[in-house]
Amino acid sequence: MTTPVDWLVEGYLKDLRKSLRVLPRDRRREIHEEIQNHIDEARMDAATDSEAEIRTLLDRLGDPDDIATDARERFGIQPERTGFMEVAALILLPVGGLIVPVLGWIVAVILLWSSRAWDTREKLIGTFFVPGGLLGALLLMALSASTRSCTVTGNSAGEIIERCARPGPSDIERTLLILLFALLVILPIASAIYLGVRLRRRTAVLSHILRLAPDMIQLDGSLVRGIDGDQARLALASALSSFAMRIGAITTAECVENEGEAVALQALGIGYAQGHVLGRPGPLRQVECVTG
């Protein structure tokens, strides 16, 4: 019987699988199995398999996006950036076949599969949502409308005459053809938009932060972990804290695991954190460090 705790764990693992798509398959499998085994062992060792304990366990593991970021840094895998190849693929997929019949769409598919900005599922969607793009849609439309009927008659001389004609479609057929044409036009455009949205979500643009003017800026685990011994992390956290103060936002930190990290964050003027400060789990709260 599936329990709320099982749903909680499965939801976490599902998010983890999505976040790990940026890694090679063998690395994805390795990290996923490692974390799943850790969760299973922790649940077996726990006194009670309660929802509160599982939430604490998952919080200690960290956000799936942070895990993927840490793995990418550890294995030296650079995130893909939007470039000419991706933009050209998005343009040519729906209209490439109209610009240069057949060849234009083939070039778009080659660009799509050559880029590492999309995963395999997204590339399949871009390839097979009406192959050929709008040209493919027009060809399918033409084929569906090219039915003809033939009649065989005889004349007074005993000759057999075959007459073929393309009759005009009925109202129902005309409606179905319009719907088919609209669907076939929408699909290649929709697939290109979908790929563009997926690509956009993976592209971080600092101007978004300026436009949003957030009330709170959160430092994630990939920045907080080990910040007390890393000058680069300290410098970045200090800059983000100063930026937050300038725009009147609150700065918070997650995944604070030890006293050293908490002291470093407090010295930067970051007064709120969540995580396991000194081993004590807690919600978003003010950092209180006991020193000396």
Residue 279 confidence (pLDDT): 47
pLDDT band at 276 (very low <50, low <70, confident <90, very high): low
pLDDT digits (tens, 9 = 90+) for 29-40: 888 888 888 888
pLDDT recorded at residue 153 = 58
- Compute the mean pLDDT over every residue in the chain, rounded to the nearest whole number: 72
Q: Any idea how long the chain is?
A: 292
| pLDDT tens, position by position, 38-85 | 888 888 877 677 777 888 888 888 888 888 878 777 766 655 555 667
CA dist 147 and 164 (Å) reads: 10
| pLDDT tops 80 at residue 13 | yes
Give the per-residue pLDDT at 143.
61
Contact assessment for residue 247 and residue 92, using Cβ atoms and an 8 Å cutoff: no
Residues 257-282, mean pLDDT to the nearest whole number: 72
Q: Has this prediction a pTM greater than 0.75? A: no
The predicted-structure confidence for 194-250, as pLDDT tens digits, reads as follows 777 666 555 444 455 555 566 778 888 788 888 888 888 888 888 888 888 887 788
pLDDT at 120 over 60: yes
pLDDT of 217 reads: 80
Distance between CA 101 and CA 129 in Å, rounded?
17
In 3D space, the residue among 275, 221, 270, 224 whose CA is nearest the CA of residue 250 turns out to be 270
Instruction: Say if CB 262 and CB 276 are below 8 A apart.
Output: no
Average pLDDT over residues 150-165: 55
- Cβ(134)–Cβ(95) below 8 Å: yes
With 70 as the cut, is the pLDDT of residue 8 above it? Answer: yes
Give the residue carrying structure tokens 């970051």. Answer: 270
Taking residue 8's Cβ as centre, other Cβ atoms within 10 Å add up to 15
In terms of pLDDT, which residue wins out, 230 or 257?
Answer: 230
In this predicted structure, what is the pLDDT of residue 289? Answer: 41
Strands 280-286, 216-219: pairing is unpaired
The residue ranking higher by pLDDT, 150 or 17, is 17
> What's the confidence (pLDDT) of residue 258?
79
CB 22 within 8 A of CB 116: no
User: In Å, what is the CA distance from 33 to each residue of 59, 83, 201?
Assistant: 18, 33, 26
